[in-house]
Structure 1
Amino acid sequence: MKQPTDVAQFSISTNPIKGPLKWVGMENIKSPIQGFTKDSIPAQISALVSLSKGDQKGIHMSRIYELVQSLSCKTLSKKKIFETLDEMVATQKGSSDAAKLTVKAQPLLQRPALLSEKMGYKSYPMQIHGPRKKNTNQLVVTLRVEYSSTCPCSAALSREAIAEEFMKRFQEGKVDCKDVEAFLTNESTWPAWPHSQRSQAQGHFLLNDHQELPDFSKLVDQMERALGTPTQTAVKRIDEKEFARLNAQNLMFCEDAARRLKAAFQNSEFKDFKFWVRHFESLHSHDVYAESRK
């Protein structure tokens, strides 16, 4: 009778090509996560460990998978993530000395309109990345928000073109208020208009040693307040008018947006942070980019 195969024998490589591997594991494991909103949300989790022993064929995947699934049982916390990282290394029984865990999700937050009673949901892509190396754990929270940006240069050129058209229309010097009103409200008389574009800002926040996971919704609010013109959900006419007014008051290049975000978080408790800002140009077919950090 054939003897059952000992699974342990496969852990030692018989392949002539041997050597350690920087990372081995699983990516995009599907699991619900608690802690970002009042309900659980779907997440994609990547869990990797180093393979430090060159003669070791592979790692114990199932042990890591079970650890990842256990994350759904409790509210996600810094302590729970660090415990999981330590256990990921421990389950490999000497084959690994480093681990990293990445949780990706897109929580939905209900956002009110600017002036009316309308409300709607926005998705905020986020990530929690926890690397563990040489018995040292870190935690980086990444969050992306969308906003509108109106180009200051196009606004200045539009004002110049409007002023030129106004002087052409009323060059005699005597101006009737009704004629001016007609000029200002008639779409066909406006020779130019500034261009805007949807833009993205992504924040990367390194937690200090004594800092817990930040309140997700408060982090969103702080980034959106700094930018001034977050994209909207359901709106009425008064909301759209207010949004146009806010855009006029918040003319900005991508450099301005990056500096605003840095200033807003300069006195925060984060050990370090950086912001990536991208404006998806409506004038050009390329994007523009700026980066700031603490």
Structure 2
Amino acid sequence: MQVVNTVKQLQKQISVATASKRKVGFVPTMGALHNGHLSLVKQAADECDIVVVSIFVNPTQFNNSKDLERYPRDLQTDLDALSTVKCDFVFAPAVDEVYPEEDNRQFNFGALETVMEGQYRPGHFNGVAQVVSRLFDMVKPDKAFFGLKDFQQLAIIRAMTKQLELSVEVVPCAIVREEDGLAMSSRNTLLSQAQRKNAPLIARTLFESCNFVPDTSVEGVKKQVIDTINTDTELDVEYFEIVDGYTLQPVDNWNESEYIVGCIAVFAGEIRLIDNVTYKL
């Protein structure tokens, strides 16, 4: 496993490795790696010959400066984790390496970016598109792997890839959970003991809500999920939306779409957790 810090180094190393036309798999991360990230790396290794992992906390996707400041950073721990799986190159650039000049590009993803995360985190997805498109240009992967936990982000990246006519294949990967059901997240390490104990209620409530479909209305399921989670004094639902899995637009009934997903964001104190469940596919 080689660690590189500059685009020039990265492209030189990859060009040597790909001289025999081997496929490159790419896993972009912001570090604070956990088993969810490692599952993406493992899938990349299964499907590609060369695996590149980036570790870069992207400032342009944080609309809250405090959130950026407290995002966990521990490069050596991340490298130790990556040493347990097949990873050929780790790209760990400084901010000015990714953004030698200010990136003023403005993307338009239409209705995909105005709901859920987009509604509560203005500018977030534009920052995601900026950094992912730049990383794609630097790594030039054949495939890029993203977790389904960030469901809306995956839709945005697919749309960005299509808009820019990029040849990379975006590969969705299953959510990886802790033993108690909590979706793995770098933010979980920031939870207090009480918050961590109660946070699995989010996933448990989502899973249980599947039992009420389709006999309970969409609005009824939404109310039940929100009310159940909000009974916990450690948790506060920011939003819970039941949407078409392709357009991300809210559905009014279970027959409205062939692909229906419930997406949620919950605050545990100041820590924001997201998750989702598929109701219909």
TM-score by length of 2: 0.30
Higher strand share: 1
Higher relative contact order (CA 8 A, sep 6+): 2
Structure with higher Rg: it is 1
TM-score by length of 1: 0.29
